Amino acid sequence: MIKNISNMKNYNEKRGRCCEYIEALEEERRKINVFQRELPLCLELVTQAIEAYKKEISGTTMENVYGQSECSEQTTGECGAILDLFVPIKHSPTSIEGEEEEVDEHDDDDDDDDDDEHESHETDIDFDDKNMKSEWLKSVQLWNQPDAVPSKKLERSQQESGTVVEAIKGNDNRAASHRLPCYKTSNGENDDTKSLATISGGSGPQKKEAEKNIGGSSSGRGRRKQRRCWSQELHKRFLNVLKQLGGPHVATPKQIRELMKVDGLTNDEVKSHLQKYRLHTKRPSQTISNNINSQTQHFVVVGGIWVPQASHSTANAVASGETSTGIYGPMVSALPSEWPSHSNFCRTISEERSRCSNKGILRCSSPAMSSSTRTKTKYAKYHNFCKKYY
């Protein structure tokens, strides 16, 4: 009898959990929905899983949604089994070395964090811990996700104060070593995001694709890395770091990369991003006819960095008070506009063939770099920069 009771209890518990998961999954589905086109299978999977859960709850035990992965009960019962569907099996280190050889000849030197794709136990999904899931999701979002996703807002709210980032950074990832997005999916040919591999692998803990360069034809190492987008999260971090370093014109790619502590991020990528960013900052005005640098503008310049006006105060505080310690103090709001001007600035850079000939008008109110250790070089740099533009 006791047994029965405990069973019952167990059942109820399980049921409760299932309900929770259904909710969570539905939430998830809403998010994924945004990417319907990109992740049709993902959506399908989640949908099916939701149905499966519901059925399960309603008593009709019918698992085996897919025929595969039948209710193998692991420690957690079938919830786990189904859940597993979503967790792309992370085969640990295998993928890495596969392509390592030539795509990245130097890189990955990164002393500290690196991608420690931690082991393989998929059980770490851990039931009661949905936070983890969101964290994980978020970190994934860090890299892909060309456009904004509403969900992000939500998550951000719960942990302001940059804890996320902290965790992401991995410098103290005791709780959960969630990997950061590896962005290194190379493979230039046959790309097509629709390839199943890409999707399933990509949506989950995406690892680097192993295969490429098949058949040895490979035509040399000319392949380009697959294009990856800087998510807002990522860009936000970029901005933060930039702020710490004193602005886009004094920060150096390497420093930025180091401070960002995003594993897998390379200097080149940072450099590129920085370049783009600088371009944007170069010719700020002339887009909007009416307001010429008036107060009505939604962006303000803080230490040479454009930030949304809303966050101006905080940013400013940091800029002046600063002292990098509180690294992630001021997170700018999750709003989409972190760029000098969100969309295109009609920039006619075509002309300037010769280097150094650009005469952008740039307003930079004293860079917020005072107490940095390596200030000297920066200072010089900054002066150089000013000279250039004034």
Partner DNA sequence: CCGGGAATAT
Partner DNA sequence: TATATTCCCG
Interface contacts to DNA, rule CB under 7 A: 106, 183, 188, 191, 222-230, 252-255, 267-269, 271-276, 278, 280, 339, 343-347, 349, 352-353, 355-356, 358
Nearer to DNA by Cβ, of 134 and 341: the residue is: 341
Report the SS3 class of residue 95.
helix
Nearer to DNA by Cβ, of 9 and 254: the residue is: 254
Report the SS3 class of residue 80.
helix
Nearer to DNA by Cβ, of 146 and 321: the residue is: 146
CB 68 to DNA: min, Å: 33
307 DSSP β-pair partners: 300
Which runs of consecutive H residues, i.e. helices, occur in 197-298? Answer: 202-203, 232-245, 253-260, 267-282
What is the maximum span of the chain, computed from C-alpha positions, in angstroms? 87
Nearer to DNA by Cβ, of 95 and 226: the residue is: 226
Single-letter amino acid code for the residue at 286: Q
Nearer to DNA by Cβ, of 217 and 343: the residue is: 343
* DSSP assignment letter at 198: I
Instruction: Describe the chain by its helix, strand, coil percentages, rounded to 5.
Output: 45, 5, 50
Nearest to 288 by CA among 298, 280, 278: 298
Please provide the DSSP assignment of 46-68 as one string.
HHHHHHHHHHHHTT-----SSSS
CB 314 to DNA: min, Å: 24
The C-alpha atoms of residue 160 and residue 142 are separated, in whole angstroms, by: 16
On whether the CB atoms of residues 386 and 359 are closer than 8 A, the answer is no
Nearer to DNA by Cβ, of 174 and 355: the residue is: 355
The C-alpha atoms of residue 145 and residue 375 are separated, in whole angstroms, by: 36
CB 114 to DNA: min, Å: 15
Nearer to DNA by Cβ, of 59 and 222: the residue is: 222
Report phi then psi at 78, rounded to 5.
Answer: -70, -20
CB 253 to DNA: min, Å: 4
Nearer to DNA by Cβ, of 17 and 278: the residue is: 278
Structure tokens, 237 = 């971090």
Sign of CA dihedral 295, 299, 305, 311: positive
Nearer to DNA by Cβ, of 47 and 252: the residue is: 252
CB 272 to DNA: min, Å: 2
CB 229 to DNA: min, Å: 5
The C-alpha atoms of residue 382 and residue 376 are separated, in whole angstroms, by: 10
Structure tokens, 340 = 């000098």
306 DSSP β-pair partners: 301
On whether the CB atoms of residues 123 and 75 are closer than 8 A, the answer is yes
Nearer to DNA by Cβ, of 26 and 104: the residue is: 104
Residues belonging to the chain:
390
